[in-house]
Structure 1
Amino acid sequence: MQAPELSVAATPAFTAAEAARYRAEGWWIDSTISDAARRNAAHTPDGTAYIDYPDGSLTWRELDTAADLLAGELAGCGVGTGDRVAVWHGDTAAIHALYVATERCGAVVVGIGARAGTREVTQLLRSAQPRLIVSDRPRGDPARTAASGVADAVGVLVLEDLSLNTAAPFTPVPADAALGPDDVFLINSTSGTTGMPKCVVHTQNRWHYFHQQAVANGQLSPDDIFMPVISTPFGFGIWTTHTTPIHLGATAVLLERFTPAAACEAIARHRVTVLCCVSTQLTMLMADRASRSHDLSSLRVVFTGGEALPYRPAAAFEELTGAKILQFYGSNETGLLSGTTLDDTLTHRLRTGGRIVPEMAVRLFDGDDDVTDSGHGQPACRGPATSLGYLGGTDHDTLFTADGWMRMGDICEIDDDGYLSVTGRTSDFILRGGKNISASQVEDAVITHPAVALAAAVAMPDPVFGEKVCVYIELADSRTVDLAELTDFLLALGVSKELLPERLIVLDELPRSSGGKIAKGQLRSDIRDRMGTDHERS
């Protein structure tokens, strides 16, 4: 099967002159993740690379050896330069050996989140058209069967005990077959909360640049113990689970499935110093009693992002653990636009996305109008952290401005000191009686109630006002709350009346996208269905 061309955009994410400058400034380098894995195996062969919690681990020597063996097995199956290998696998050490093995074959990983549903997987496979699918799902699994049937001539292999166990002969891979840092090494999906995913195209150097920013902002070292709890294929996951631990030579503790209890137990047992999680996961940790019943004092840095972070619980978590919470602002497509550091104040760290990164030039837009001087608008950037865009140039005009700057989907403010704050998403406002209400502001208010572990605000159709504010919540521990109690609580805090929820729905678990974010598209569909049912009953 012939894979589609890796064309991405009519306007490139960077010119040849820009690429040369990024390399000259040291933002991009000439070595790869595979090179770093070999270096670690040579310098600290018995050092622990990955820990599969609660038991299981790989040393750097074992990781390097496994990557070589897997590369030979892939090559024996016909995988070569420019081919694509879809990896649909749980978040374990094995996935990192397989990613390095694919790189050594000169092939491109098509990363599929462990929690991805069949519809999402089908979309990705149709778009990327890989030569092989490698999975840890057992044969006969309905989702795997459905996904593997979307294209002819796609082999499906099972990764088990760091071997593909194929009948194909082992084929040594020449060293010069490996990818370079400017080659496409990964195609992953947007982990957005609405619609079907699009395929984002990545080089290693864009994530190496992000890695350097993380090291500087968090003062990271090889002695740190990481615990990233974001699925590996996504933007936040790829640098926290793969790029940064391997380039640093630091140990990473992996949870195949995140729960607050498991995360707290692993932090305490392995004396984790750097926790990496989306804001939803940190909110769940802060609300769970496990964070008070385990010793989390080893934590030094918490990297988080993806959604708005509730200030009061975050500040309490810092006081409980002694860690500092750092946020980046960016996306799978853009990398980072801004970031907070250990030297920033508590308010800046928890209430902003940090200072604009100078080399990630940022402009603000209102539609197609440049409104940078106003300090308020939709950000667009151009710099060394940007991806190559979407596979095949999909939605080019949505992602890029006319002159080639990559857009975010948020509305932001940048103050006189260069700190960026997100005020809402371009599509995440509730229009009530002609008034735009920021869903993120509603959520930030509701999450302050001690009974609320997680909150998501969406628009509820209304015949008079057009839309009203509906809030879905998960409860903390065994507590309860109803709409009247929540309203009284928020009014006592002085919360603006326009931010008060007008309907409250309690769920055991809010739906998540495969990237871990709250799937608001599902919630919007749910409230429309509920409204239809309510209307039928009236």
Structure 2
Amino acid sequence: MRPTRFPDERRMAAFRAEGHWQDRPLDYFTERAARLWPDAVAVVDGDRRLTFAQVYRDALRLAAALVERGVRSGDVISFQLPNCAEAVIVYHALHRIGVVANPIVPIYREREVRFIAAQARSRAVIVPGVHRGFDFVEMYRSIAADLPDLDLIVTTDPTPHQGAESLASLIDDVTDEQVERVRALPTPDPDDVCLLLYTSGTTADPKGALHSHNTLAFENRSMIDTFELTEQDVIFNPSPVTHITGVNCALMLPFVLGAPVVLQDVWDSRVALRAIREEGASFMIFATPFLRGLLEAARETGLETPSIRYIICGGADIPDALVTEADERLGTVTRMYGATEGPSVTSASVADGPDLRQHSDGRVLSPTEVIVVDESGRQVETGQVGEALWRGPDTFLGYLDASLNDEAFTDSGFFRTGDLARFDERGGIHIVGRIKDIINRSGEKISAFDVENQLSEHPEVVEVAVVAGPDPETGERGCAFVVTREQVDLPLEEVRTFLIGRGVAIQKVPESVFVVDSLPKTASGKIQKFALRNYTRDRTTAPEQMATTSVVAVHER
């Protein structure tokens, strides 16, 4: 597979000349880690511990087995695996033979998987057997007729499954001669696509983003430089390894850095707190729900986390009060702004000071460039809100569906994010929501993020999302979806009194309040606001993404 869109030749040359792209394929880092730190622990998966040498050995053997079954450089192989050691081995095996890795989040089912695997033209899939009560092998067998490129189903389950091969058998059955032939294969071109990752669904239609060896290698070295990481650090990763955060933190960063990763599959905040303390975890990146849960567990148990050097929290919906308390109680907390299309665009370190870390989304991580523009594409003044655009060495190459690229990029190569942002006088950036998060009430534009940030500090509110809903008189109205402590009710008048008491303009006060027992989220923990917007327009049938969400109470003006 070749990229559908490269950065322009001039910037590619600049990335190389300035050392941002070092033209090393990702397999270079796997081999290097096994050579430099052969006996050091690379992966902690429950009671299992794999060294760098063991991961590299099994990755080579799996790569050899795949080559024997006809897999070739440029093919796409999908894996839909939980956070487990096998996912790490699979990822590195694919890069050894120049395959495009296509992680698919485990919560996806027939509809999403059919779309992704068909568009990607996946040659093989690697899945659990039965995981959390769901039979993944049977799902792929049931849709195989719709996937004409699919030749091989591999399962990590030791129990035999009809129509699938065992991952363990593939690794065990190759010969030393076959492994040596794989070792001798040419290394991939660092500009080749190595990762096809679909956006995680905060919009209705996932899009396949393409990354190269060079973009991902720079991204990981950028994290090491920004946060001064060393091989003495221990990475904790509860984010799905099939999401861009998990791909980088769990599958790639340990091998660039020489430090272990501690995996957690099923999120349990108390289990996470215990693992962090027992393993001495020092570095982690995750979304707001993980941070909130970890803080709650620390409050409830009274346990401290002295090993934590950095908690990096991503996503625009991070209340200031949450970051401030977590920073004081858990360890240094800083925000990070990025996406599948550009994993770390802005952040802040200890050197930037607590105010920038706690009350902004950080500074632009050079050499990435970020500009904020108005609707006509002109840069706005400091303090003014506009759309954030970025470009840099870790910016993706484009979408698999090339028809999306003209709209996604400016002529000068900036990615149009759809995020609303403003810069402050210190150079800190503030992500204030999505363009679609604006409520157009009688022509007046209201930021949903501003309302969420205030309402999140109500003592009974655990989580909140505000979206635009239809209104026959004003066109749109603010609709607040709130999760409350112990599902207590939260009447509209109480919301109104609370917000006005905090100095919020009356026009910004939501006119609908939905008390729910949970909010629909992506696998990485981001709220699927499109599902909430859909629900405000059609309440007769809850959207699929809200199938597990029950509405406790509804209050409307």
TM normalised by structure 2 equals: 0.87
Tell me what 1:346 maps to. 354
Give the ranges of 4+ consecutive aligned residues of structure 1 lying more than 6 Å apart after TM superposition. 531-535
- Give the equivalent residue in structure 1 for 2:45: 52
Do residues 25 (structure 1) and 18 (structure 2) align? yes
- Cα distance in 2 between the residues matched to 1:270 and 1:234: 23
Deviation (angstroms), 1:144: 3.7
Among 155, 158, 162, the residue aligned to 1:158: 155
Which residue number corresponds to residue 6 of structure 1? 2
| Alpha-carbon separation, structure 1, partners of 2:533 and 2:401 | 30
Q: What does the per-residue CA deviation read over 1:91-112, in whole Å, with 9 as the maximum and x for residues that have no partner?
A: 1121111010011122111111
Q: Is the 8 A contact 2:335 2:357 kept in 1?
A: yes
In 2 relative to 1, CA 132–291 (structure 1 residues): closer, same or farther, beyond 3 Å?
Answer: farther
1:119 to 111, 124, 133: 111
1:36 and 2:36 matched: no
Worse-superposed segment, 171-180 or 15-24: 171-180
Larger relative contact order, structure 1 or 2 (CA cutoff 8 Å, min sep 6) = 1
Contact kept in structure 1, 2:285 and 2:314, CA below 8 Å? no
C-alpha change, 1:531 and 1:158, in structure 2 (3 Å) is closer
Query: Does the 8 Å CA contact 1:338/1:357 hold for their aligned counterparts?
Result: yes
Q: Unaligned 5+ residue runs, structure 2?
A: 159-165, 543-552
Question: How many pairs are equivalent?
Answer: 525
What's the CA shift for 1:395?
1.1
* C-alpha separation in 1, matches of 2:285 and 2:445: 33
Residue type of the alignment partner of 1:156: I
Q: SS state of the match for residue 69, structure 1?
A: helix
Q: In structure 2, what is the Cα distance between the partners aligned to 1:337 and 1:270? A: 29
Alignment correspondent of 1:402: 411
**Aligned counterpart in structure 1 of residue 97 of structure 2, from 89, 100, 105:** 105
Provide the rounded CA distance (Å) in 2 between the counterparts of 1:396 and 1:44.
41
The one-letter code matched in structure 1 to 2:350 is L
Counterpart CA distance in 1 for 2:404 and 2:269 is 37
Deviation at 1:417, TM superposition (A): 3.0
- Whether 2:234 is the aligned partner of 1:234: answer no
Is the deviation greater in 501-510 or in 273-282? 501-510
User: Which residue of structure 1 lines up, in the alignment, with residue 233 of structure 2?
Assistant: 224
Greater mean deviation of Cα atoms: 120-129 or 338-347: 338-347
Relative distance call for 1:183 and 1:164 in structure 2 (3 A) is farther
- The corresponding residue for 1:188 is 197
Q: Superposition pairs for residues 66-81 of structure 1, below 5 Å? A: 66-81=58-73
Q: 1:490 to 1:260 in 2, by over 3 A?
A: farther
* Amino acid paired to 1:47: A
Aligned to 1:378: 387
Of the structure 1 ranges 228-237 and 462-471, higher mean CA displacement relative to structure 2 is found in 228-237
| CA positional deviation for 1:126 | 1.7
**Against the structure 1 CA distance between its residues 512 and 295, is the aligned structure 2 distance closer, same or farther, given a 3 Å change threshold?**
same
Report which stretch shifted further, 304-313 or 277-286. Answer: 277-286
Amino acid at match of 1:165: S
- CA distance, structure 2, for counterparts of residue 179 and residue 212 of structure 1: 19
Q: Is 1:215 the counterpart of 2:224 in the alignment?
A: yes
Q: Which whole-Å CA distance do the structure 1 matches of 2:254 and 2:460 have between them? A: 36
Q: Distance in 2 between matches of 1:79 and 1:332?
A: 26
Superposed counterparts of 1:374-523, under 5 Å: 376-476=385-485, 478=486, 480-483=488-491, 484-523=493-532
Q: 1:148 to 1:347 in 2, by over 3 A?
A: farther
Residue 250 of structure 1: aligned partner: 259
1:394, distance to aligned residue in structure 2 (A): 3.2
Structure 1 equivalent of residue 127 of structure 2? 135
Q: Deviations over 1:316-340 (max 9, x none)?
A: 111112x111222222113433221
Inter-partner Cα distance in structure 1 for 2:523 and 2:111:
12
TM-score (norm: length of structure 1): 0.90
Which position in structure 1 is the counterpart of 2:340?
332
Partners of 2:300 and 2:153 lie apart in 1 by 41
SS of the equivalent of 2:513 reads strand
Question: Could you say if the C-alpha distance between residues 318 and 417 of structure 1 is closer, same or farther in structure 2, counting changes exceeding 3 Å?
Answer: closer
Shift of 1:467: 1.8
SS in 1 for 2:479: strand
Q: Do 2:127 and 2:137's aligned partners in 1 also have CA atoms closer than 8 Å?
A: no
**Which sits farther off after the overlay, 65-74 or 279-288?**
279-288
Conserved 8 A contact 1:126-1:151:
yes
Contact 2:454–2:502 under 8 Å retained in 1: no
The CA deviation at 1:149 is 4.2
Superimposed CA distance per residue, residues 193-223 of structure 1 (whole angstroms, 9 cap, x where no aligned partner): 1212010000122122222222222221111
Q: Does 1:94 align with 2:86?
A: yes
Q: Which amino acid is the alignment partner of residue 112 of structure 1? A: I
Q: 1:289 to 1:330 in 2, by over 3 A?
A: closer
Cα separation, partners in 2 of 1:291 and 1:57, compared to 1, 3 Å: farther
Distance 1:217 1:464 in 2: 50
Alpha-carbon distance in 2 for matches of 1:149, 1:318: 51
Number of the residue aligned with 1:16: 9
* Structure 2 CA distance for partners of 1:160 and 1:352, relative to 1, 3 Å: same
**Match of residue 162 from structure 2:** none
Describe the SS at the equivalent of 2:308. coil
Which residue identity is paired with 1:6?
R
**1:234 and 1:41 mapped to 2: Cα distance?**
25
Q: SS of the counterpart of 1:38?
A: helix
Is the Cα–Cα contact under 8 Å of residues 234 and 515 in structure 1 kept in the other structure?
A: yes
2:369 maps to 1:361: yes
Q: Which amino acid aligns with 1:437?
A: I
- 287 and 459 in structure 1: CA distance in 2 versus 1, 3 angstrom threshold: farther
Aligned to 2:55: 63
| Change over 3 Å in CA distance of 1:345–1:117 after alignment to 2 | farther
Kindly, what percent of the aligned residue pairs are identical?
A: 27
Pair 1:440–1:112, CA change in 2 (3 A):
same
Distance across 2 between alignment mates of 1:437 and 1:110: 38
Which deviates further from its counterpart, 114-123 or 481-490? 481-490
| Structure 1 counterpart SS, 2:352 | coil
How far has the Cα of 1:372 moved from its partner? Answer: 4.5
Asked if the contact 1:123–1:196 (Cα under 8 Å) also holds between the matched residues in 2, the reply is no
Q: Is the 8 A contact 1:473 1:505 kept in 2?
A: yes
Alpha-carbon shift at residue 140 of structure 1 (Å): 6.5
